[in-house]
Structure 1
């Protein structure tokens, strides 16, 4: 009987340990950020966390094709992390604008993209448009942009500001969860061409580290200079880091045009003139968020096709800049309990 009791106790202890392990695994599962973006997505039902490739039953938009854009000879830089395949999400709108093709950029050597400044890689065909958004993430506006893009089953490249990402990491995670490409746009959006090289380099690297930290994962080696202001030294530095520099083909000028109807008319007129291009917008701007649903509708009506730009690799951040943007650790407080200091008297 004593031996049986010992065996029974041992089995009970093992069951408790197994139960605790299961409980630990259950409670460690991450949950989706509770943000305005999440609320918008749940309301519209347009964004899923993982989308399968569109089918004839779910979408009329053509299936994306991946075409490489090859850059120059390799330059010395920290080894980049391999990029996971872009998330494919089911299009629930059978009449969506959709993505006509997906291109993958090999950023070795720091290629420049956007014909307003760089002429080496003119990869867009007539009628093709690549959507890009700067200066986010930002409450209300970025979630509204995400909802508009999801409604038409299209993807874009986002260039967040490091500080904004550190203030609103949950919104940035919504951008990533929707399957968009995320690059960087400096730490604080200063004109780098007017700064000493060392200071400008710090702005670039802190921006990369800040966005990656807020994202909770490596980001794409895509960078856009604030105001498109660059120097030869800074462009060469991006090449050493194997970071592609993005310029533009069409400027929506949403930083100064704040009436949605005027913004749409001006952008469509420019696209008609160029016939194609990398389109610059800002998810920071309220007017852009308000104009985007109609702008996408007019792109579809005009026969334009959306090209989604992805990166072959991810960029490795540099530890010294990671340390500079890491949130400060809270110090121990000697404050009394709040109830002993403040109480409701009426």
Structure 2
């Protein structure tokens, strides 16, 4: 296994038709950083089909040892002007939210990620950057923002003085921008999860690109502030071309290590036991949950208590730079937000009159 260090800092839809989940083979996960899986490997982890579970709106490696080169005496040269020492790298300083709980689990450390070239994280698909130490976890939540449930998750995280990473759906962000702003205000990292949670591996390239870009624009616009260049593929389904596209856009792809499977485990106590069992088996990892499910929101406080009781440490991930959205997709989202105008509408006074 290859391990590389990551720079650390001390500071911190909607259709109603059900779609079946299709098992994915390793060909969906091509690319320089993707895992090449043997034919006998277990099926890829997926998050399930969102459309079947969507609430209705309104309701590291050692280097090879090289042969030693012969020792050669260095020529004596006169030193004229010494080169100036390189300037220290500039880091983004982020103020940590105030913690009023002295017994809180808290964030053990915060890592800063340089997304240049679109690195991938999460050992189920990417193994170039295994930055977590034994006993460390990263908490991630997909498919929000959503009323009631997202605020419940935020409250549980706040009680334990934790920061997590959220991957909102663009369309959801346009429905509930006030909830997304709560996520931002609480100091969490916000990436994106496409415009409408489509399986990008089954889409024509341009449609897939549109889903990615429109989603990023929508989340950033509704957040009212630049977001992180972090992205997660719906159902973890990618292609070599899409991975290359994210690399071109300098957007990091986040996969997972532990799937809570909260798309099918709907009992909070069972959900907690299952997730902790998976974590114990792996020893560390990026945990996937969904903040639009009520049972997940109910399970989070106990899950955090179990993490603390079992000595796990939470790592918060931040991006070195912010995401630069594309103007044409910003315009698409802005146009979609405008009310539909009727070409044959009568004057309001002819339609609506006060009679009492």
Give TM-score, length-normalised by structure 1.
0.74
Aligned pair 1:298/2:310, yes or no? Answer: no
Aligned pair 1:321/2:341, yes or no? Answer: no
Q: Equivalent residue for 1:32?
A: none
Aligned pair 1:186/2:198, yes or no? Answer: no
Runs of at least 5 residues in structure 1 that lack an aligned partner in the other structure? 1-64, 73-81
Q: Equivalent residue for 1:246?
A: 254
Runs of at least 5 residues in structure 2 that lack an aligned partner in the other structure? 1-7, 12-31, 33-89
**What is the Cα deviation at residue 329 of structure 1?**
5.4
**What is the Cα deviation at residue 315 of structure 1?**
0.9
Query: How many corresponding residue pairs?
Result: 267
Would the alpha carbon gap of residues 252 and 320 (structure 1) be closer, same or farther in structure 2, given more than 3 Å must change?
same
Q: For 1:133, what is the secondary structure of its paired residue?
A: strand
8 Å Cα contact 1:83/1:313 also seen in 2: no
8 Å Cα contact 1:67/1:104 also seen in 2: no
1:122-201 mapped onto 2 (5 Å cutoff): 122-201=130-209
Would the alpha carbon gap of residues 173 and 83 (structure 1) be closer, same or farther in structure 2, given more than 3 Å must change?
farther
Alpha-carbon distance between aligned partners in 1 of 2:176 and 2:190, rounded to the nearest angstrom: 15
Alpha-carbon distance between aligned partners in 2 of 1:154 and 1:237, rounded to the nearest angstrom: 32
Q: Equivalent residue for 2:61?
A: none
**What is the Cα deviation at residue 218 of structure 1?**
1.0
**What is the Cα deviation at residue 331 of structure 1?**
5.0
Alpha-carbon distance between aligned partners in 1 of 2:91 and 2:303, rounded to the nearest angstrom: 31
Q: For 2:289, what is the secondary structure of its paired residue?
A: strand
Q: For 2:287, what is the secondary structure of its paired residue?
A: strand
**What is the Cα deviation at residue 85 of structure 1?**
3.2
Alpha-carbon distance between aligned partners in 2 of 1:83 and 1:210, rounded to the nearest angstrom: 27
Q: Equivalent residue for 1:66?
A: 9
**What is the Cα deviation at residue 90 of structure 1?**
1.2
Give TM-score, length-normalised by structure 2.
0.72
Aligned pair 1:104/2:112, yes or no? Answer: yes
- Aligned-residue Cα RMSD (Å) equals 2.0
Structure with greater helix percent: 1
1:12-23 mapped onto 2 (5 Å cutoff): none
Q: For 2:162, what is the secondary structure of its paired residue?
A: coil
Alpha-carbon distance between aligned partners in 1 of 2:93 and 2:216, rounded to the nearest angstrom: 21
Q: Equivalent residue for 2:283?
A: 275
8 Å Cα contact 1:248/1:279 also seen in 2: yes
